[in-house]
A and B are shown apart, each in its own frame.
Chain A
């Protein structure tokens, strides 16, 4: 009979050791909203489940050098209730709050969303656009990488055996910076993104964009960074020409699949539209 082991360590070092020494498949349990579905359906039969919610530093949001460090087991609901996170990074908080229901929000985490490595993960384009990084702990110590380097394809990540993400880090937010994330689904709640678009912009005092990052979800095997879309905004104000160039660059970057949620043509078109709308909100939040 299938009988996985279970551990709930209280330190990162202990968790890493458990993961590194595991024989067979080991999985980290944060919110469990993906893991338990996979477990129940038999898609995944881990030999070891490591619950990381008893590690205090993974359960908190702290401010660090003007930025934020969000522990890997912090739930979406906790992120939404934080005193200043949604004021500083509204796009990121809105993105994580789009995931599932109130019940899912009570458990699901940014890092779980990232490490589940779905191309349609809602919080990931928002984190990528904001320039977020993750801190990865492993047998050889800690390393920090951009969020976009974690997923490598549907369901797979760049984490090595024994490694786990312990936190998301948001950089100090420059003045006149705004972020936004939008997704399209055929209803208003409880669905998986057909397309998602995250945009973060920094403006000068005259409202001209000086820095931008654009990220698209659900239009490729991994969440995309689209430098050409960012380039369409940099040096420009929020005008029709810049938005048209952004739209074209977003569409050009799409490599989507055809499935029940949307055709290739439809997803490509929607990616351009969402990129425009997210950019408009990001500019507004940056003070344009």
Chain B
């Protein structure tokens, strides 16, 4: 069967790509568009390493087909920093050493940004529940949660 021709927006830029039906959005990002910041962990929606947003909604890109991207606005980790200027969450993850091996980090950052866009002042419990679908085998989560809450406080102070 002929490949599908998909027109979408990724990190604010219009993007077109070709894909087969069975290719996931994660496959398309990594293998077709070479946007390898989005990671594959489990490929079954359990680990959150492949988190992206679609029209602002947080999803696992491993559980979305590439063809479904037609006409939608996708945000990936590559769109998070503004050139060399890191997003406050990225900066704070560095300061808190909220990562070790780094495989889960893009997913945590994308998911955390989606949280703060909806809720600029989350409680620790709210942050932990929001991020329950992002698994990290290194940090024990505490540094990640502290980095997210501290970023939220900074961003509230700045606005």
CB of A3 closer than 8 Å to a CB of B: yes
Q: How far is the CA of A107 from the CA of B57 in the complex (A)?
A: 9
User: Contacting chain B: which of A96-104, A123-131, A221-229, A280-288?
Assistant: A96-104
Count CB-based A-B contacts (< 8 Å).
Answer: 93
Residues of B within 8 A of A53 (CB): 68
CB of B45 closer than 8 Å to a CB of A: yes
Q: Which of B22, B114, B132, B133 contacts A39 (CB 8 A)?
A: B22
CB of B29 closer than 8 Å to a CB of A: no
CB of A207 closer than 8 Å to a CB of B: no
Q: Which of A3, A5, A29, A33 contacts B45 (CB 8 A)?
A: A33
Residues of A within 8 A of B70 (CB): 8
Evaluate whether A103 and B67 lie within 8 angstroms (CB atoms) in the complex, with A36-B24, A190-B132, A190-B133 already known.
no
CB of A77 closer than 8 Å to a CB of B: yes
Q: How far is the CA of A41 from the CA of B68 in the complex (A)?
A: 20
Residues of A within 8 A of B133 (CB): 100-104, 189-190
CB proximity to A under 8 Å, residues B75-133: 111, 114-115, 129-133
Q: Which of A4, A106, A190 contacts B57 (CB 8 A)?
A: A106
Find the A residue at minimum CB distance from B24: A36
CB distance from B111 to the nearest CB of A (A): 7
Find the B residue at minimum CB distance from A38: B44
Q: Are B64 and A3 in contact (CB under 8 A)?
A: no
Tell me whether chain B's interface is mostly helix, strand or loop, or mixed.
mixed
Evaluate whether A106 and B48 lie within 8 angstroms (CB atoms) in the complex, with A3-B20, A4-B21, A4-B22 already known.
no
Q: Are B43 and A40 in contact (CB under 8 A)?
A: yes
CB proximity to B under 8 Å, residues A1-59: 2-6, 8, 29, 31-33, 36-37, 39-41, 49, 51, 53
CB of B142 closer than 8 Å to a CB of A: no
Q: Are A107 and B48 in contact (CB under 8 A)?
A: no
Find the A residue at minimum CB distance from B133: A101
Q: Are A103 and B48 in contact (CB under 8 A)?
A: yes
CB distance from B141 to the nearest CB of A (A): 12
Q: Are A3 and B65 in contact (CB under 8 A)?
A: no
Q: How far is the CA of A98 from the CA of B133 in the complex (A)?
A: 12
CB distance from A121 to the nearest CB of B (A): 16
Q: How far is the CA of A176 from the CA of B79 in the complex (A)?
A: 50
CB distance from B67 to the nearest CB of A (A): 5
Task: Number of B interface residues at 8 Å Cβ cutoff, please give it.
Answer: 33
Residues of B within 8 A of A189 (CB): 129, 132-133
Q: Are A6 and B46 in contact (CB under 8 A)?
A: no
Find the A residue at minimum CB distance from B71: A54
**Listed residue (A3, A31, A41, A107) with the most chain B CB atoms within 10 angstroms of its CB:** A107
Q: Which of B46, B63, B67 contacts A51 (CB 8 A)?
A: B67
Evaluate whether A51 and B68 lie within 8 angstroms (CB atoms) in the complex, with A6-B4, A32-B63 already known.
yes
Q: Are A6 and B45 in contact (CB under 8 A)?
A: no
Q: Are A77 and B21 in contact (CB under 8 A)?
A: no
Q: Are B63 and A107 in contact (CB under 8 A)?
A: yes
Q: Are B22 and A2 in contact (CB under 8 A)?
A: yes
Q: Are B21 and A103 in contact (CB under 8 A)?
A: no
Q: Are A5 and B1 in contact (CB under 8 A)?
A: yes
Find the B residue at minimum CB distance from A29: B65
Residues of A within 8 A of B60 (CB): 33, 103-104, 107
Residues of A within 8 A of B67 (CB): 6, 8, 51
Given A5-B21, A29-B68: 6 more A-B contacts, CB < 8 Å: A2-B22, A5-B1, A53-B68, A103-B58, A103-B63, A190-B133
A-B pairs, 5 with minimum CB distance: A101-B133, A189-B132, A6-B21, A106-B59, A106-B57
